[in-house]
Structure formats: structure tokens, C-alpha cells
Structure 1
């Protein structure tokens, strides 16, 4: 079929680049979001997130009339849902996924669905979420038929296609990366492939919805386990007085060993979240995945204890000082280098914790963020040079390119990224 109009629901770090990519191929794209700020910004041809090259794509798409943002869904030939899938707020030791945003997005597009439309869930989701979305749509539109009942003869086609891109490289990877397409029927899969081939140069690999959902979770769980090994190794080496960075470099000289680099924890909208979707579904079977999550979630607390020890050491070495006289600089707030994304960021949480227990000044150096309004209280956003010259204790949390190009020598340095 011909996809003349495409609707993208959720204009965040994945939805907006995807919408812009379709629009760059001269498709009419209607972006839907609940944020009036995001809508107004996009309709001015500007972007509300940091992502290289995306600003040029959006500006051109809006200027040429191929992209617009709105609060209310409009009729289209294909609907892509790219909304958040957070955790429920409960006291469970195993976080449970919250599909409320997917449900609301489904109910929002349901009134404008017509026979022949395609609905694709892009949100990273627990196994079974695409089928659940199909049920919500069927409940809202009993006048239409859906694949779970009508199979190949359904009025509406439904598929899952998880995003597989790296923040900071989204524009390029949307085009070049392979895509996993999981349709509820072969017809659904084929239509989804046709849609994505509008701009995807990588291979579109067809499977079923559950396998497509699990594929994304598996990719990120694998990374989480690998990072957990590195993080646990860093804690062990600290106790044994071994330089973990040198150790890993030596071990990686083996042709079949590739240990990742440790850090202050794991953040972002994927690796810190997706493994829990597997654990919550199969808590008795996902033992290694669960353990890796616990190791990585514990690393920020370990870093904070190192900061407290550094404060104690500094005060012992400077008996004329009090805790109020000690300035701590935290280098980096984003969850990974060279982006502004703070989602699930261990660096952000560590900085916040330090500001809550420390009596003195806390400086944050984050080159990708202009202000901290509503993000951190009692923390001053500082220039790199200012922080280096005016701080007593230095805590490296993210290896931004600006930090790598700099250097500092201090007895009171906690470098979780091994750059200084």
C-alpha cells in the first residue's frame, strides 16, 4: 500500500528523529505529543532535545510543510507509537512496567483509525505489550477488525518494531541499522517493512511480535550484564589496590576478551530499564540478569561512599577547615557522554545525593545543559575551568569530550571513568 500520511505519537528522543526522517523523504508527517512546549518548538522548526543533525532535518521538514506537531491525533495511513514505558510506583523489589502511556496513545489514535491502517509499537516494551495494544484498540473500535481475531483479513494491521539506535548517533543509525519487524500476521509484517523501507537502508528482518519485543530486551540485558562485570571488577580492584583501567587494558589484549569499561552505574531509557521487563515476567528464571541489575544499581552508592571518604580525608589533612568549607565538583550529569539526556542517569542521582548530605558547595559541570532549573536544588552549574580551579574534591561521572581534552591532578579525585 502507499503510506502518504504518517503519524508519530510521542516526539521524544526516538519519535522526533523518526518523524523527521519520514518527512525528509517527502512524506506528510503528523507528530503528536502531550507537551505543548514540544509542539510549539517543533512547529517553529526547532528541536527541544539535543541530537546531532536533527535540528537541520526538523527545520527543513517544517519549512517545506512535511512535518507538523499537534496535541490531537489526525487521520493517517500509518501510526507509530513511541511513548515512554516507565515503571509502576510500588514497593516491589522487582519493578513492574507501566503501560499506561501506550494505553493512552492507543485510545487517542483509535477514533481516527480507518480500514487499511497500520499501527506500529516502537516503544521498548515487555513481552506481550503489542498484543495488549491490539486489545485496547479493538475495545475502542468494535466496528473494525484486528489481527488477534481476524488474522490476515483484519481491517487494521499491527506490528512491533523496537528502536535500536544510540543517542548521539540517532540520525545516522535510523537509516543504517537493521530493523526487527514483528507483525501479528505476515501481512502486518510486510506492511511494516514497506513503511520502514521509506528510509531504512539496513535489512528489515521479519519475526513475530513477541520475539521482536524480546530481541530489544535481550540486546540491552546483554550489555547490562557486561557492564555489571566491569563495575564489579572495579569494586574488587579498589579493595585489592589494583588499577582497574590498567587491568582491563591488559586483559583485553587477549584476542577473545573484550571487557567493557566501568562507570558510576548504568543509566538511560534502555539498559537501566529493559532488563527489568524480563525479570518482572520471569523472576524465577532470570537470575543472572537480575543479579547484573542489582550490581549496577548498587554502584552509585559505592561512589557516594568514596566521596564521603574523600571529604573525611580532606578534613583530616586540613584541620582548620569544616565541611562547609569543602567545595565538591561533579563532572557530568547525563547518562552517557556528549548528550543532554538525563533519563535514569546515575551521574545525576549521585550529584543530587551529594548535594543533600554535603554541607558545603556542590558544583556541576555539564557542557550539554544550559541550566538546572527543576533538576537539582542547591547545586550550581559551573564552567569546567572554574570547577577545576575552585573545588577541593573532584568527582568524574561522565567522560564528555570536554573532560577528556582537559586534565587535573588532585589528591582528592574520584574518577569513575578513568580519564584523569
Structure 2
């Protein structure tokens, strides 16, 4: 006999992944309770509004809140399935994964667990994080059995299912992308697949266990990171050899089996800039190429900063009556990719911050997707449209409005090939 469908789901963490996921389940007329420690986020969602920028998300959230299928709170409550989608940052500056938010979420959920519940870790995690989460819950609830001890007979089912979506297209890709599911047992995987099939039209692919599912997500982003590092290194080489890297890549990509990515100011976002280090932390002696790619991409912002200082110097050389304080800079874009508001791990933000700390003149930040500058840029001015009057123009993120802009007057540092 088929198992019953899920009637109540709880999503822990209402950020860039958790809120769209909660809204998607709620749009299928399932009761969803979102949990977040951020009271502002909770209050905003309960008004039918959103605290992040993602196309179509606001429309779905407004509808499901008004229809009573989604509400938010700061305290977990009983449900049949719990999806944990909290951050996994580093410990300090050592690129060592910090599972404190996953542990805090697990311990917050543990008191409301009951026999038959399903726990899914969606957070991108180092290998072994799902098993660690299960251990923390088992220690907090010795009255319940968990898969690591009871196998298929466990009271609680545990699985890992990482998100695999592109910011800016989350609402579409949550539905159409395949999901990789790694349950701690076969029944755990079956339960997780049944849950996601409420809205996923892609295939729910079952891995042999949570470790493989964890590694699959890390591998996907490391593959991207290595390829971006190749493009970024090419851009540095081409600059030294006085070549146009975008022309070079365009020509090379005419080969039927070559598809070089586009260079930029570095690599940002909470996935590609972070996940490869999780592999390195698990196998530091073996992950040599992955580590090198990370180092190449992490070093690119400083190369850009040096190019900006050189451009300022060139302007001063051409205008000997000026000092650095008289030089106005325009920085185009702060987000980690075009047409979103997400500044997490953004190399553009790193570059803007360092320049703002070293440059004594005026700085205009042109970023149409945010309303307030981060505190680290309080000495700069936020603008929303391209074309600021400046002596040095620094293109870091090719937002759509920038692509339509004509090449400005002055020194140009173009990291995206917009003004070629």
C-alpha cells in the first residue's frame, strides 16, 4: 500500500533557497511552516512579502501566504518533514567548514520530532555532514531511533538532497532540475523522493548514500570553479601579452569540442566560491587541482585592484594638475553575478571595499539591484543607473542595463568585456 502524502512540511532557514522551496511546496496546497531566526524575515513573509530578490518569488509568496498555505515563525513546531536549508560558512580564514548552523537547526528541530518524520539536509555541506546531523539529533532524542543505529527500522528517516539551482532562475529550476537524493537507508531515499515529487518534474536520482550526494554537489561546483579559473588565468596572460581575452576565447570556442567560460573579477556566490574548499578540507593532499583553481580565482580580485590603481595612475599622469583626491571612480556592480541582489562571497564587493579604503577621491557605486550600500562602503555613493560621470570606470558585473550602455569617457577597467 502506498504511503500517505505529506500534509505538513517545515523549512528551516528562509534564505535564497529555503524561502523559494517553502513557497514551491505551499503552491501545491501543502501546509508549510517556515522557520528562521531572523524576525524581520519572518514578519516580512507573514505579510506576504519577500526579503530577497528572486524573479517570480514575490508573486508566489504573496499568493500562498494569502491562501494560508505558508506562514513563518522563529520556533520549530511539529511537522511530517523537515528541510534544513541554513548556511555552511567557514571557520575563520582557514577554509574549514563550520557546521554550527546545521547543528543549531538540528537541535532546534529535535524536540518536536516524532516517529515517522523525515529530515532532509539541503544545505551544501562537506562530506559527512548529514551523518553528523543525524548523530546530533539522536543524542538529543534518545527515545527515538535513527538510521545510523536502527537502519530501515528507524523511527526517523534522514537524507541529503542539495539544491542545484541558479540564482535568478530558482523558481523555474527548482521544478525542472533533477534532484540528487542520498538517504541513509533505502526507505529514507524513497521518502525524500516522494516528498520532492510534489513539485519536481525533473528526475529524483537516488545516490548510494548521503556522502555521495554531498560529494556530487561539491563536485558540480568544483568543476565550474576549475573551468572559471582557466578563463581567469587566460585573462591575466592575455593582459600581459596585450591581447583581447574575449576575442581569444571566441576564436578558441569555434573548435567543436572547446567551450571556455568567460573571465571575470573572481568567483562569487555561496556555492562555487565555497564548495571546492569543502573537498580540499576532506582530502587536502589529493585535491591539488581543485585547490589551485580556488587559489587562482581567489587571487583575481587583487589583480583587479592593481589594475584600478594603474588606471588611476594613468589618469594622473595625463592630468598632472590633479591629485588622487580629485579622481572620481565609478564601480559598476556589486553582486556576485548579473541581475541579482546577492552579495555573498562577491569578488566585486571585495574589490569595491578595498578600493574604497585606499582611494581618497569620490566613488560612485552603480548597482541597480540593491537599495542600501553595505556598511563597508559607507564612504561611497550608491547610484542605480549606468553612466555616472567619472574619471575611471570599473566594470565588475555585467548587469543587463550596463550592457546597453555606451563606452564612457575616461580610463576603463572592464572585467566583463562590456566596452570592448
- TM-score interval, normalised by the smaller of the two chains: over 0.9
**Which residue of 7, 14, 34 corresponds with 1:11?**
14
Cα displacement (A) at 1:382: 1.6
Q: Could you tell me which residue of structure 2 aligns to residue 337 of structure 1?
A: 338
Q: Could you tell me which residue of structure 2 aligns to residue 407 of structure 1?
A: 406
Instruction: Tell me the secondary structure at the aligned position of residue 108 of structure 1.
Output: helix
Moved over 6 A (4+): none
Q: Is 2:400 the counterpart of 1:397?
A: no
In 2, Cα distance between equivalents of 1:317 and 1:374: 33
Q: Could you tell me which residue of structure 1 aligns to residue 84 of structure 2?
A: 81
Cα displacement (A) at 1:383: 3.6
In 2, Cα distance between equivalents of 1:411 and 1:366: 20
Written as runs of structure 1 = structure 2, the 5 A alignment for 1:3-402 is 3-90=6-93, 92=94, 95-207=95-207, 208-385=209-386, 387=388, 390-402=389-401
CA distances 1:264-290 after superposition (whole Å, capped 9, x unpaired): 000000000000000011010000000
CA distances 1:133-171 after superposition (whole Å, capped 9, x unpaired): 000000000000000000000000000000000000000
CA distances 1:360-414 after superposition (whole Å, capped 9, x unpaired): 0111000101121535221110243451xx2000000001000001111435100
TM (norm. structure 1) is 0.98
Q: Any stretches of 5+ residues in structure 2 without a counterpart? A: none
CA distances 1:232-270 after superposition (whole Å, capped 9, x unpaired): 000000000111010000000010000000000000000
In 1, Cα distance between equivalents of 2:252 and 2:360: 41
In 1, Cα distance between equivalents of 2:278 and 2:384: 39
In 2, Cα distance between equivalents of 1:219 and 1:409: 38
Instruction: Tell me the secondary structure at the aligned position of residue 413 of structure 2.
Output: strand
In 1, Cα distance between equivalents of 2:31 and 2:321: 67
In 2, Cα distance between equivalents of 1:87 and 1:409: 39
Whether the 8 Å contact between 2:386 and 2:405 is mirrored in structure 1 is no
TM (norm. structure 2) is 0.98
In 1, Cα distance between equivalents of 2:117 and 2:13: 18
Aligned-residue CA RMSD in angstroms?
A: 0.8
Length, aligned pairs only: 415
Q: Any stretches of 5+ residues in structure 1 without a counterpart? A: none
Cα displacement (A) at 1:223: 0.2
Instruction: Tell me the secondary structure at the aligned position of residue 312 of structure 2.
Output: helix
Whether the 8 Å contact between 2:12 and 2:105 is mirrored in structure 1 is yes
In 2, Cα distance between equivalents of 1:378 and 1:331: 16
Q: Structure 1 residues 34-43 or 367-376, which shifts more? A: 367-376
